[in-house]
Amino acid sequence: MSILIKMNLVPITMNKMLLRTQLKACILVSALLTIATLILTAVFANNSGWFSFGPSDNLVIAGVIIDTGLKYIILVVIIVLNSVIDMIITEFAQPILGFNIYNPDKSVITDFKSKRELQILASLYWAFNNLRAVFTILISITQVDLALIKWLVLEITAIYTIGTLLSKKKFVHENSVELEEFDLV
């Protein structure tokens, strides 16, 4: 019987290793793509004003010239609040929608009263999410400092939300895996 148990664990372990390897490869490709994008942006956008920092006569958001420190601070506060709220909503809402709508292994939905309810909630979520994304992208691409502020806030918020979500999970091998064993490559 122990031979059968060991034989059944091999595919599961190999599958988990494959998933980890796949994820690490995706992270590596994403990093390389990000570096290439940054290099191309630096080479081709040098005279566009995108590399400006702070308030400027050239910084125009939705027709408003952000040329004073007060206007700039208000804009940054709006970016920070929007980014934090967006990240928290995204991290908590998308798994609910993803696991109930897009998971092919889940054919019976128990968390919603009807197909119509889930469809309306998902449509509303995506409509607001996509509209907000249009405006935040427009703000982020006007000047590099605004893009970097938004990115930094999103990353800090992601640490909180991912930590919150993972704190609800139990990890089978957590006590046996040391930090030194973690590698990206």
pLDDT in tens, 8-45: 444 445 566 677 788 788 888 888 988 888 787 777 76
Range picked from 7-21, 91-105, 110-124 for highest mean pLDDT: 110-124
Residue 73 has pLDDT above 90, yes or no: yes
Global model pTM greater than 0.85? no
Q: Decide which of 31 and 3 is more confident.
A: 31
Answer positive or negative: Cα dihedral of 64, 54, 157, 126: positive
The pLDDT > 90 percentage for the chain reads: 11
pLDDT digits (tens, 9 = 90+) for 126-168: 899 889 888 888 887 788 888 889 989 989 988 988 888 888 8
Cβ neighbours for 112, distance < 8 A, ≥ 6 positions apart: 100, 118, 121
β-strand pairing of 60-61 with 64-65: antiparallel
The DSSP secondary-structure symbol of 100 reads: I
Show contacts of 27-36: CB within 8 Å, 24+ apart.
27/184, 28/184, 28/185
pLDDT of residue 136: 83
- The mean-pLDDT minimum among 50-64, 76-90, 129-143, 165-179 falls in 165-179
pLDDT of residue 183: 56
Question: 184 near 92, Cβ under 8 Å?
Answer: no
CA distances to 44, 45, 73, 141 from 48, rounded to whole Å, are 9, 5, 23, 11
What's residue 77's pLDDT? 94
pLDDT at 124: 92
Mean of pLDDT values over 97-103: 84
